[in-house]
A and B are shown apart, each in its own frame.
Chain A
Amino acid sequence: MYVNFIVAVELQLKIKFRVADVESFQTVGDIVKEAQSLLARK
């Protein structure tokens, strides 16, 4: 779990991933996809 990177993304974009999502991230692409989905819901 690249927790520093993930939390840095959260702070930068002002979003919060679910723990389940964080554990399921396999690639940076997964993080981008979930971040976009959270941003779209804002």
Chain B
Amino acid sequence: MLFNSYEFIFAFLPAVLAGFFLLGQRSRSLALGWIIAASLVFYAWWRPLNVLIIAPSILVNYVLARWLLRLAADEGRSPVAARLVLALGIAFNVAFLGYFKYVDFLLTVANDLVGTRFVLTQVILPLGISFITFQKIAFLVDVHGRRVTSFTLRDYGLFVLFFPQLIAGPIVHYREMMPQFHQVSCRPDRENLAVGLALFVFGLFKKVVLADGIAEHVSPVYDFAAGGHPVSFFPAWFAAVGFTLQIYFDFSGYTDMALGLARLIGIKLPANFNSPLKSGNIIEFWLRWHMTLTRFLTAYLYNPLVLWLTRRRMARGLPGIGGRNPSAGAFFQLLVLPTLVTMFVSGVWHGAGYLFILWGLLHGVYLCVNHAWRFFVPRIWTDKDARERIMGPAGFALTFLAVAVAMVLFRSPNVTAAKELLEGMIGLGGINLPRSIHAHLGPLAGVFSPSAQLSGREFAISGAWAAVLLLGALVLPNTLELMARFEPALGVRPRPAASPSPLRFLDWTPTVPWAVALSFLVVSVVMRLGGKSEFLYWQF
């Protein structure tokens, strides 16, 4: 069931809330049981068989987690057994994900590389399987690490199945969710309802009006390129920048809706986006984009890898990477290697395809360059003030361009499309303008070529979409900033500013003017609802 569908907004959600608050008057246990049942209905709506696939895997994970809990409670007397059970659990989850998501890709790779003729299985991917699997692995690791010390089947079911974040995150930790569920009042709370509803409407607007609006202009360019047609300079850049904006508003819109839905029943989810396109470098970008995935990969992959590699190096008497003057060996072994491995996994996690892997590795390279810059450039360029003055704006522009270029790999339906678009972006597909615009260029006309294929109207509308969304993403405060007074996400509070922001007047409050403004957003959304428009991240 889609958050942006009539059945969800006008039937499922009101029924879930009514049931939760009614049952909550009798007992919290019943109300939470109702949320689990509702989550199963939500998940089954798209394809009921999915529940039969996912439920056994949840039960297996629960049994393994109970086993781990017993071993962990043994005060570490059986660390090898605990490690084996953890390894078994991770292997089970990876195999489960691998079968549904990667088996066809691996067969394709074998067919491409070795010339085998495996027939693809065409297994249908259960919705949100990557998110659910990551969460289950994190839970097992947390039980093994004694960060989770007690749980019941109901708690575990609630943690894995909670419908607002079931399909596309935010990826949550048991320890940040369960205390909330154990204390939730199960009674309607005016502030929670107002904040939750406002977040949901903001998210719905971002998804249905902004993301889907620009998608109508972005998708045809990718489809055109996928056919092997050369793409001219401006449409190619529009495809790159336009998709960057589309996915930002789509996924951050989804996240706002998830935060809002959870908040309606008094639960706060962690933040997932913090205006990533305003970042001044790529390291900062990853701290502001899909933040819970970055948190997961850092805690469960990058940090253990760095720790393991550092132990190996230092046991051999080699230095670690501390200080401002790391050796080249330490830099490559302790920073480049774990970064590339982590971003490779990030790419593979996003999708089973060569382009997703390339996208992940490209971001890995970006991050390594950024780290190298931080380590090595201050030694050469010693004027710190000049460096910061120049690299502030340059870093922002460079980061945006790097992200947009990588997004071409992320969005392209095939390698041909990516090639045509990247070639177009460096001008190999010609630097053309629609005839109607070219005719008015005067002395500049010689720089560009007129094209009969490009429509002046479409060119102008696409440009306007990109300009408006860029303005929204780069200048306006984000939803969490607008609502910071009400802690819209876990731990989000107003930042003490040295000087008050000139946009402070935009801060959301539960007042009549904001109710009127949100009503306008609702009307604009309802006018566009009805078409089938899935969230981009649901495919993962």
Chain A residues in the interface with B (C-beta under 8 A): 1-8, 10-11, 16, 18-24, 41
Tell me if B142 and A20 are in contact (CB < 8 A). yes
User: Are the C-beta atoms of A7 and B314 separated by less than 8 Å?
Assistant: yes
A11-B321 contact given A19-B304, A20-B147, A22-B303, CB 8 Å threshold: no
* Majority DSSP secondary structure for residues of B touching A: helix
B145 close to A (CB within 8 Å): yes
Establish whether residues A19 and B311, one from each chain, have CB atoms under 8 Å apart when the complex forms.
no
Residues of chain B with a CB closer than 8 A to A5's CB: 322
Could you list 7 further interchain pairs (A-B, Cβ under 8 angstroms) beyond the known A4-B320, A10-B311, A19-B307? A3-B321, A4-B319, A5-B322, A7-B310, A7-B311, A20-B141, A41-B76
Given A4-B321, A18-B145, are A23 and B299 neighbors across the interface (CB < 8 Å)?
A: yes
Residues of B within 8 A of A1 (CB): 303, 306-307
Please judge, given known A-B contacts A11-B314, A20-B147, A41-B76, whether A3 and B299 are in contact too, CB under 8 Å.
no
Using C-beta atoms within 8 Å of the partner chain, give the interface range for chain B.
20 to 34
CB–CB A3/B307 < 8 A: yes
Q: Give min CB distance, B276 to chain A, whole Å.
A: 23
Which A residues touch B444, using CB under 8 A?
A: none
Contact B146 A4 (CB under 8 A): no
Partner of B146, one of A7, A16, A20, A22: A20
Separation of A31 and B304 alpha carbons in the complex (Å): 17
Q: Considering the complex of A and B, which 9 residue pairs feature the smallest CB-CB distances, nearest first?
A: A20-B145, A4-B320, A4-B322, A19-B304, A7-B314, A7-B310, A3-B310, A7-B311, A20-B147
Determine whether B447 belongs to the interface, using a CB cutoff of 8 Å to chain A.
no
B210-234 contacts to A (CB < 8 Å): none
Q: List 20 A-B contacts (CB under 8 A).
A: A1-B306, A1-B307, A3-B321, A4-B310, A4-B319, A4-B320, A4-B321, A4-B322, A7-B307, A7-B311, A8-B314, A10-B311, A11-B314, A11-B315, A16-B311, A19-B304, A19-B307, A20-B145, A21-B145, A22-B307
Minimum CB–CB distance from A5 to chain B (whole Å) comes to 8
CB neighbours of A10 from chain B (8 A)? 311
**Separation of A20 and B311 alpha carbons in the complex (Å):** 16
CB closest chain-B residue, reference A16: B311
Give the residues in chain B near A23, CB-CB below 8 Å. 299, 303
A4 x B314 contact (CB < 8 A): yes
